[in-house]
Amino acid sequence: MVKFLKRFYLTLIFIFLYAPILVLIVFSFNESKSRGYWGGFTLKWYVELFRDRDILKALYYTFLVALLSSIISTVIGTFSAIGIHNMGLFTKKMALNINYLPVLNPDIVTGIALMTLFVSLNMRLGFMTMLISHTVFNIPYVILSVLPKLKQMDKNMTEAALDLGATPSYALRKVIIPQIMPGVITGALIAFTLSIDDFVISFFTTGSGVTNLSILVYSMAKRGVKPSINALTTLMLLTVVILLLLINKRTTKGDELIP
């Protein structure tokens, strides 16, 4: 009985989570433009999706910004984490507190604060400002995922390497970096997903025709519903499921799935 109730409840929650997406998927194959009315099967919205220049451009910028900002923030974040780890008690605390601000602050505050800065500096809002902003909110997450790995590391290892004649940069490359690699990879993945999914900060810090997917969906949704967004949702869901299945297969031990 308890078992049945558990399954029933979990099923209900899963219906709640998936119903809206499933409705979109079904209607992405709908001939009729109006929702709720079935006009026959069609793939024309998918064709239209790949013909829509705005959507393709937004997809391009979304991935470009996500890729660049996650690479930059992983590099800066990793080195900074090593530096912060070796700081004195007080400066370390200060640095970590400031580093924590973009994580704690609501996105909207980070967004308008950065916009205020860029405008005050007379910078043109566009690709560059969006890339900087994404890097600003990504680095703290990289640092926060690298620091625990540095703490776990045996201090004597680095000293041993130095005693054995390694230069500091050689010790960094051959001893420290390999040991903190899991943290670096986690940080990079978090940065990439945060960047792909970001709306609020991009919304305030971009301009002159540069939009990402979220901004495009927002402005389309405000004007009304477009069936090619349904097609886009379907493709996105498919990508996510395939990616997750691949990751799940690779990490049979699991648990690493949780971001």
Partner 1 sequence: MKNRARILAYPYIVWMIIFIVVPLLLVLFYSVTEGNINDPSSLSFSLKSYTRVFDIMYLNVIWKSFKLAIISTLFCLILGYPVALIISTVKARYKNIVLMFFLVPIWMNFLLRTYAWMSILSPNGFINRLLTFLGLPPLQIMPGQTAVILGMIYNFLPFMVLPIYTVLSKIDKSVLEAAMDLGANKIVTFIKVILPLTVPGIISGITMVFMPAVSTFVISQLLGGGKELLIGNLIEQQFTVQRDWHFGSALSIILMIMILISMAIMSKVEKDDGNGGAPIW
Q: Could you say which residues in the range 27-66 bind partner 1, by CB under 8 A?
A: 27, 34-37
Binding to partner 1 by residue 179, rule CB under 8 A?
no
| 162 near partner 1, judged by CB under 8 A | yes
- Residue 198 · residue 214 · CB < 8 Å: yes
Q: Residue from 113, 125, 131, 147 that binds partner 1 (CB under 8 A)?
A: 113
Which span sits near partner 1 by CB under 8 A: 48-56, 63-71, 102-110, 179-187? 102-110
Residue 57 burial class via C-beta count within 10 angstroms: exposed 0-12, middle 13-18, buried 19 and up: middle
Strand partners, 30: 41
Widest Cα–Cα separation across the chain: 76
The CA distance from 201 to 221, in Å, is: 18
| Interface segment toward partner 1; rule CB under 8 A; list 40-48, 49-57, 183-191, 225-233 | 225-233
Query: What is the SS3 assignment for 78?
Result: helix
Cβ distance to partner 1 smaller for residue 139 or 188: 139
> How many C-beta atoms surround the C-beta of residue 118 within 10 A?
21
Residue 230-259 contact track with partner 1, rule CB under 8 A, x = bound? x-xx--xx--xx-xxx--x-----xx-xx-
Under rule CB under 8 A, which residues in 195-214 are in contact with partner 1? 196-197, 199-200, 204, 213-214
- Bridge partners (DSSP) of residue 41 are 30
Residues contacting residue 30 through CB under 8 Å, at least 6 positions apart: 37, 38, 39, 40, 41, 42, 227, 230
User: How many residues contact partner 1, by CB under 8 A?
Assistant: 83
Q: Taking the CA atoms of 135, 140, 141 and 145 in sequence, report the sign of the dihedral they define.
A: positive
* Contact mark string toward partner 1, 114..133, x via CB under 8 A: xxxx--x-----------x-
Rg, the chain, Cα only: 23
Among residues 125, 171, 184, 210, the one that binds partner 1 under rule CB under 8 A: 171
Would you say 44 or 91 has its CB closer to partner 1? 91
Binding of residue 9 to partner 1 (CB under 8 A): yes
Residue closer to partner 1 by CB (options 56, 243) is: 243
Q: Extract the tokens encoding 126.
A: 């566009």
Residue 6 or 124: which CB sits closer to partner 1?
A: 6
CB of 43 to partner 1, least distance (A): 19
Q: Choose the stretch contacting partner 1; rule: CB under 8 A; options: 40-48, 50-58, 76-84, 177-185.
A: 76-84
Tally of CA atoms within 13 A in the half-sphere of 113 that contains its CB: 11
